[in-house]
Structure 1
Amino acid sequence: MNALAQATRPPRADAAAPVPATPPRPRRRRGAREAGVAALFLLPALLALVLLRLWPLADAVGTSTQAAGLGKSGFVGLDNFVRILGDATFLDALKVTLLFTLVVNPFQILLALAFAVILVQRIPAVGVWRSLIFLPSAVPQSVSAIIWGIAFRPDGPLNGALRLLGIPAQPFLTSEGQALMCIVLVVSWVGIGFWMMFLIAGLNDIPRELYEAASVDGAGWFRTFFTITIPQLRRPLLFVLVADTVANFLIFAPVQILTRGGPNGSTNLVMVEIFNRAFVTGDAAGAAAGTILLVLVVLAVVSIQFRLLPGKD
């Protein structure tokens, strides 16, 4: 009877009504909010890109089409490019830069690769050796140039060591035949450790199973290196090659501090020539045209490198 009475009893007026479920938030509104948060995080990088890359590039393009010389103004189109390409000094600087790049790029990358291969092995104090080789990369190029400038002096430590070996003192930075190689040495001293770290990271990503399988098959070190290490390291090598090429085309501080483009233009790289045109002779339009031409040359060289060393995919 009690159960029947409870079943037929009308519901109380003050009984709590079921709470309706909260409708899901529209997906479009959530996506817009997430995009806004992402844009907020990207804003500093985008501002840096616009202010430090795109705006200077646009300004250089605009300046390169204006009349050259103080007190002159007006649009001249491609006249400054024609003038620069007909200037023997600029063309010589471009040749020196290409020669410098052809020498310094293989030298840096081969040594960086050799150090990387050695320092991924189980050798005593491997962390210390990595730190010592990488340490010059943490020093500003200007400071490194000053240190090497002291070493290259006629009465400096390098000539002192040569005298102890019975070798006559060398002119180094004052010799047309040696000055560019001295710049190669300074730049490589800074760059080898930096690129080595990227190659070490690439070597550590190679699956160990590949080397174990090669060992089971009886492959020696030479064959393993060229059939496993180099193909697996193709992408890091491509990155290092392209980044090193761009960096070496833009070398300025060591040359400006050590030789200022001399002697007789033997170290007059394009960046030094552009600097002299802009801030020594006051040819801002010619310097801007030279900058645009340098960017085009770098893009052409990098495109060739991508074709010669394609990615794994």
Structure 2
Amino acid sequence: MVLLRLWPAAVAASDSLFAPRAHSMSFENYVYIFNDPLFQKSIAVTVAYALIVNPLQIAIALALALLMNAAVPLIGLWRTMILLPVAIPQSVSAVVWGIGLRPDGPVNALLAAVGLEQQRFLTSPNQALGSIILIVSWIGVGYWMTFILAGLQDIPKSLYEAVRIDGANRWQQFRFVTLPQLRRTLTFVLVANTVANFLVFAPVQILTQGGPQGSTNLIMNDIYTRGFVSGDPSSAAAETVILIGLVLIIVLIQFKLMQSSEENST
């Protein structure tokens, strides 16, 4: 398994050093990529996307996990509805959302029925990225909820009983018992969610192909476009290596911040 994961990365690193404009190994592809306005915009779009979708998904997943852990009516039905998007392939979900959000789709029909102006959800530069964030969150929230719910169910009930005896209200129980006990689970979810969102491809490719005007051109879509549409696999390989390095740096920063936070709380 380790070989299967490392070998493609090694091949990408090797291919990135061979530029069609050079006759030997060089960093020409990296110089070209870093100076390319399309790459610069894709990085900016990807970072903006991740800064919004990561906390949004985790906050909603945590709220849903807290509800699912409580004695709410019809809990089995609610869990099924929340987990249903997880069982559907991303490509299928993207197609369904694409039908729903198109100009003559049911969402715009509903807006028109209540007297609101119809929206260009996937064709407006101001709305397309928000629509992608909504769709990706709908797909991923249930998945991350399962991890947080498992962490909640591992918290000993005796801890809640002890703080209730001391007069703690619900907010204090959440702050001083639930959050500290979920620290490791939330760290895992944060890191895994960050990696997953930097690797998002199918919804973008199916719904917008990176448009309009590059507003949804996440870095994975940019790599695909370079390698398979523009026919420049060496530059695509260089961009892949850059993406791997960027994700590793962000993950290391997250681990450091979580570690320092844990040390300060002890």
Report the secondary structure of 2:98's partner residue: helix
Q: How does 1:1-313 map to 2 (within 5 A)?
A: 46=1, 49-51=2-4, 53-68=5-20, 74-310=23-259
Task: Please state which structure has a larger fraction of its residues in helix.
Answer: 2
Report the secondary structure of 1:174's partner residue: coil
* CA contact 1:133–1:193 (8 Å) conserved in 2: yes
Aligned-pair identity (%): 52
The structural deviation recorded for 1:312 is 5.5
Report the secondary structure of 1:278's partner residue: helix
Alpha-carbon distance in structure 1 between the residues aligned to 2:57 and 2:97:
18
Alpha-carbon distance in structure 2 between the residues aligned to 1:113 and 1:288:
36
Q: What is aligned with 1:36?
A: none
| Number of residues of Structure 1 aligned to a counterpart in Structure 2 | 262
Question: Which runs of 5 or more residues in structure 2 are unaligned?
Answer: none
The structural deviation recorded for 1:75 is 2.4
Q: What is aligned with 1:18?
A: none
The structural deviation recorded for 1:123 is 1.7
1:65 partner letter:
L
The structural deviation recorded for 1:73 is 6.5
* CA contact 1:112–1:195 (8 Å) conserved in 2: yes
Report the secondary structure of 1:273's partner residue: helix
Q: TM-score normalized by structure 2?
A: 0.95
Question: Which runs of 5 or more residues in structure 1 are unaligned?
Answer: 1-45
The structural deviation recorded for 1:132 is 1.2
Alpha-carbon distance in structure 1 between the residues aligned to 2:19 and 2:136:
36
RMSD in angstroms over aligned alpha carbons?
A: 1.3
* CA contact 1:149–1:258 (8 Å) conserved in 2: yes
Alpha-carbon distance in structure 1 between the residues aligned to 2:24 and 2:255:
36
Alpha-carbon distance in structure 2 between the residues aligned to 1:210 and 1:295:
41
Report the secondary structure of 1:172's partner residue: coil
Report the secondary structure of 1:265's partner residue: coil
Asked which structure has the greater CA Rg, the reply is 1
Q: TM-score normalized by structure 1?
A: 0.81
The structural deviation recorded for 1:74 is 3.3
The structural deviation recorded for 1:303 is 1.0
